[in-house]
Copies of this chain bind each other. A is one copy, B any other.
Amino acid sequence: MVPKITPPSVDYARWYTDIVQAAELAAYAPVKGCMVIRPYGYALWENVQQALDQRFKATGHKNAYFPLFIPESFMKKEAEHVEGFSPELAVVTHGGGKRLEEPLIVRPTSETIINAMFAQWIQSYRDLPLLINQWCNVVRWELRTRLFLRTTEFLWQEGHTAHASAEEAMAETYRMLDIYRDFAENEAAIPVIPGRKSESEKFAGAVESYAIEAMMGNKWALQAGTSHFLGQNFAKAFDIQFLSKDNQLEYVWQTSWGVSTRMIGAIVMVHGDDQGLRLPPRLAPIQVVVVPIWKNDEERAQVMAVVEGIMSELGQDLRCHLDDRPEVSPGFKFNDWEMRGVPLRIELGPKDVQKSHAVLVRRDLPRRQNKSTASLDTLLPEVRNLLDAIQSSLYTQALRFREENTFQPATYEELQEAVSKGFALAYWCGSADCEATIKEETKATIRCIPLQQDGKPGPCVCCCKEAHEKAIFARAF
């Protein structure tokens, strides 16, 4: 039996956990706070990795690998950084049967160890920009675990760059934020709002943090990627200096940026529905599932002959799966693959063979509106078109949902109501007091100050003082 999924309207958190486990994306590990990423979830992550990695390499970044362990003393070199991460650290105190002289931190992020190396590698302006990315695991101690969203260990990529000027580093910060936006929108079909973080929400050690924020199915926000302008904070802590073109010794300007397996959680929560997952075709491990239908051996032979032709034709440039399990019914298979979010299903029975067509069923549309037939002669182009249509339909649905649930409150009362229903885009004067008041009274935080602003001033939604920017306020994961 296909496992039961709690309806999202009944309990969104349980719906999420049910779906992640039923679709076999991930499982709780027998290690506190940790998860196992199962093959179906990992295949999705591999597709995320590939789409991002291509973009990083196309913009001149190179992958490298730095140690998992960071000497405790390194963590302490940048004051804000250590303060921000101290409560979350896992510490190795024993190695090879002996107590270590200096404890080793299991990396929560790699600014410190990477910058220790940058200090050795960077001598002259000719060594800049240095554009490095690392795919790895990181550990941040968590008491409350949610698969993909909050686990003690997670997988991510972390970019670390060094530049000769603040302008160049700032341009890089924006460039990577835009790569994340492009990835989210065009690969994950997730509309996002790129913006600046408030002081209280920025990365420990950054001058400015930027993020892409997305609306989940329960109208809460999820930060789906971050890009930080580090200024010269780490350069000074790790003494990364270079000889400029004018023969001056200067500190480098830096950035760091990351996307993690959280992105999988975002994909689940943006697109999922009562039936289960809905995966965007460009990232789906299985883009097309083929379900043959028969009642007896004769029908089976007839149908399978056609299905094998379809598999070899489609399989050449699409990720296809043939579900020929004899022990379960077609109906079971339909539900099973719907739950697993496969974008397109092809059904083929003896009558279809006679008519030389196949039935195509889209996962992005409601049942009863999602079926069509295609001639076997034109199946491949039809399937390609449908996958493109599904990709953009998932994006459009998510965008409409966000727009319908984004409000522009002018007063504090309107803000209170807005954040209980979705995103609030409201004037904010920039004061930490207003931010704290709103957080305390509504549980909503400033997700970001969108890069796109209309430029007109207005009264702060909290204190009514003149404000020059609007911020997105929302409940967040």
A residues lining the B interface (CB < 8 Å):
27, 29-31, 34-39, 42-43, 45-46, 62-71, 74, 86-97, 103-104, 106, 113, 116-117, 120, 126, 132, 136-137, 139, 141-143, 152-153, 155, 327
Using known A-B contacts A63-B46, A94-B90, A96-B141, determine if residue A71 contacts B31 with beta carbons closer than 8 Å.
yes
Residue among B37, B64, B97 making CB contact with A65, cutoff 8 Å? B37
8 contacts between A and B (CB under 8 A): A36-B65, A39-B62, A39-B63, A90-B96, A91-B93, A93-B93, A96-B143, A137-B137
Least CB distance from A416 to B in Å reads: 34
Measured between beta carbons, the chain B residues less than 8 angstroms from A113 are: 29-31
Please provide the 4 A-B residue pairs with the shortest distance between their CB atoms, ordered closest to farther: A96-B141, A39-B62, A34-B67, A37-B65
Using known A-B contacts A36-B65, A92-B90, determine if residue A117 contacts B31 with beta carbons closer than 8 Å.
no
Measured between beta carbons, the chain B residues less than 8 angstroms from A90 are: 69, 92, 94-96, 104
Once the chains bind, are A91 and B94 in contact (CB under 8 Å)? yes
Least CB distance from A347 to B in Å reads: 23
Residue among B38, B70, B95 making CB contact with A64, cutoff 8 Å? B38
Least CB distance from A66 to B in Å reads: 5
Once the chains bind, are A153 and B36 in contact (CB under 8 Å)? no
Using known A-B contacts A39-B132, A136-B137, determine if residue A65 contacts B104 with beta carbons closer than 8 Å.
no
Measured between beta carbons, the chain B residues less than 8 angstroms from A71 are: 30-31
Once the chains bind, are A117 and B29 in contact (CB under 8 Å)? yes
- Distance, CA A63 to CA B42, complexed state (A): 7
Once the chains bind, are B31 and A70 in contact (CB under 8 Å)? yes
Q: Indicate the member of A74, A96, A116 with the most B CB atoms within 10 Å.
A: A96
Residue among B38, B66, B136, B139 making CB contact with A36, cutoff 8 Å? B66
Once the chains bind, are B106 and A66 in contact (CB under 8 Å)? no
Residue among B45, B74, B104, B137 making CB contact with A68, cutoff 8 Å? B137
- Distance, CA A104 to CA B92, complexed state (A): 9
- Distance, CA A376 to CA B288, complexed state (A): 45
Measured between beta carbons, the chain B residues less than 8 angstroms from A153 are: 67-69
Measured between beta carbons, the chain B residues less than 8 angstroms from A136 are: 137
Least CB distance from A269 to B in Å reads: 20
Once the chains bind, are B106 and A67 in contact (CB under 8 Å)? no
Least CB distance from A163 to B in Å reads: 17
- Distance, CA A132 to CA B35, complexed state (A): 16
Measured between beta carbons, the chain B residues less than 8 angstroms from A155 are: 65
Residue among B39, B91, B96, B103 making CB contact with A87, cutoff 8 Å? B96
- Distance, CA A423 to CA B213, complexed state (A): 61
Once the chains bind, are A97 and B86 in contact (CB under 8 Å)? yes
Least CB distance from A35 to B in Å reads: 7
Least CB distance from A309 to B in Å reads: 22
Once the chains bind, are B92 and A106 in contact (CB under 8 Å)? yes
- Distance, CA A63 to CA B285, complexed state (A): 12
Once the chains bind, are A96 and B104 in contact (CB under 8 Å)? no
Q: Indicate the member of A30, A104, A139 with the most B CB atoms within 10 Å.
A: A30
Least CB distance from A376 to B in Å reads: 28
Once the chains bind, are B64 and A39 in contact (CB under 8 Å)? yes
Once the chains bind, are A64 and B89 in contact (CB under 8 Å)? no
Whose C-beta in chain B lies nearest to the C-beta of A34? Answer: B67
Given A35-B67, A68-B139, A69-B153, 14 extra CB contacts under 8 A: A29-B66, A34-B68, A39-B64, A42-B64, A65-B155, A68-B68, A69-B90, A69-B152, A87-B96, A90-B94, A91-B93, A95-B141, A96-B141, A136-B137
- Distance, CA A103 to CA B43, complexed state (A): 31
Least CB distance from A324 to B in Å reads: 14
Least CB distance from A149 to B in Å reads: 16
Least CB distance from A342 to B in Å reads: 16
Once the chains bind, are B91 and A95 in contact (CB under 8 Å)? yes
Once the chains bind, are A97 and B106 in contact (CB under 8 Å)? no
- Distance, CA A137 to CA B104, complexed state (A): 16
Least CB distance from A340 to B in Å reads: 14
- Distance, CA A27 to CA B114, complexed state (A): 12
Once the chains bind, are B92 and A36 in contact (CB under 8 Å)? no
- Distance, CA A368 to CA B347, complexed state (A): 65
Least CB distance from A72 to B in Å reads: 11
Measured between beta carbons, the chain B residues less than 8 angstroms from A152 are: 69, 95
